Amino acid sequence: MKRINVLYNEQPCYDIIINNSWHMLSDEISKFDVKKRKICIVTESNVGPIYAKEVRDIVSSLCSKCILFEFPAGEKSKNLDMIDEIYEVLIKEKFDRNDMLIALGGGVVGDMTGFAAATYLRGIRFIQIPTSLLAQVDSSIGGKTGVDFKGYKNMVGAFKQPSLVYINLNSLKTLPNREFISGIGEVIKYGFIRNRDFFLWLNDNIDKVKTLDEAALEYIVTTSCYAKKEVVENDFTEKGERATLNFGHTIGHAVEKLKDFSLLHGECVAIGMKAALEISVKKNMISCEEYNNGIDLIKQYDLPTDTNGIDAEQVVSATLNDKKMDSGVIKFILIDGIGKAVIDKTVTREDMLMAVKNIIV
């Protein structure tokens, strides 16, 4: 078992537990004085049938009442109507400020449960139990919560730190392979932006990772959680360093949108990372050899580096319209050697167009 403490405002805030079972869940939740409290487990229609019973049995033995709220899986549920339904259940069950929510599922469940916890009665406690790789290495850490609004992704939200993040690596065994590989897109990103040794390790252990070897999974999840923890601790309101997490996302988000969300998030990040590597090599920040090694690693994990059916000019325009703009200047994340991200404000429309032309076949 691994335990990583995350600081907020330089004070200890919450632990991330990385384990191979539900074994420690009971002890970890008991620390929160829940004996006389109610707990609502929020989950969705894919994850609920596999894990909700086991988790609910554990939680029920610790608190006065444990209820389950399950919604249809997928991004289409991540909206204010579904938050409405969560509020209604909490009001009907008379949840007060001392009660608690648990998010059991991928990033969709985590973002929604976190947002409900941030806003119900001006804020109640919540625990993250992330079950997708993307949620384990990224979305469950850092306190960003929210929902989509009228087709705009993550348009309404709040910062709300969880009380605990409990990761059971075994839950990755039921995750569809394409979702797992999509999560690997974010894992590789940490190698590119802050850890060259991790990048090299990922290159040397491809088979172990792809076959879900337990030690390999523990290593990649722990290393990624550390990376995310360090970035958010240095910049918990997303003013500076946290922007480096957007490596591959600037163009990736535009591709995701123009492909009408038919590609998974990590797949678009992989395509966006190729574009960012193109610009990095053009600006002499990485050598051709580093560029080739980077592209090779992405491909070896079966992630895409290009796409079709979209227009390069449209991708650039969509990128320039993204909310990551800072008073008209795009903050582009490049790498200055493998393992070191930089925030660059000098990337031009032409630089972007050149890179985007190379990701469209």
Ligand X SMILES: NC(=O)c1ccc[n+]([C@@H]2O[C@H](COP(=O)([O-])OP(=O)(O)OC[C@H]3O[C@@H](n4cnc5c(N)ncnc54)[C@H](O)[C@@H]3O)[C@@H](O)[C@H]2O)c1
**Where on the chain is the footprint of ligand X (CB under 6 A)?**
44, 46-47, 50, 73-75, 78, 105-109, 111, 131-132, 134-135, 138-139, 142, 144, 154, 171, 174-175, 179, 265
Closest listed residue to residue 251, CA positions, set 150, 145, 350, 353: 353
* Closest CB to ligand X among residues 109, 187: 109
For residues 104 and 47, is the Cβ–Cβ distance under 8 A? Answer: yes
Closest listed residue to residue 104, CA positions, set 176, 13, 39, 183: 39
* Closest CB to ligand X among residues 179, 230: 179
* Closest CB to ligand X among residues 70, 351: 70
Q: How far apart are CA 184 and CA 167, in angstroms?
A: 16
Q: How far apart are CA 234 and CA 230, in angstroms?
A: 6
For residues 172 and 133, is the Cβ–Cβ distance under 8 A? Answer: yes
Quickly tell me which residue has 């079966």 as its tokens: 302
Least gap, CB of 125 to ligand X (angstroms):
17
Instruction: Give kind and range of the element (H or E) at residue 356.
Output: helix 349-357
Least gap, CB of 187 to ligand X (angstroms):
13
Least gap, CB of 112 to ligand X (angstroms):
9
* Closest CB to ligand X among residues 130, 294: 130
Tokens of 71: 């919604």
Least gap, CB of 161 to ligand X (angstroms):
12
What are the angstrom distances between the C-alpha of 189 and each of 73, 220, 270? 26, 12, 8
* Closest CB to ligand X among residues 47, 263: 47
Q: How far apart are CA 312 and CA 101, in angstroms?
A: 43
Least gap, CB of 217 to ligand X (angstroms):
12
* Closest CB to ligand X among residues 144, 274: 144
Least gap, CB of 180 to ligand X (angstroms):
9
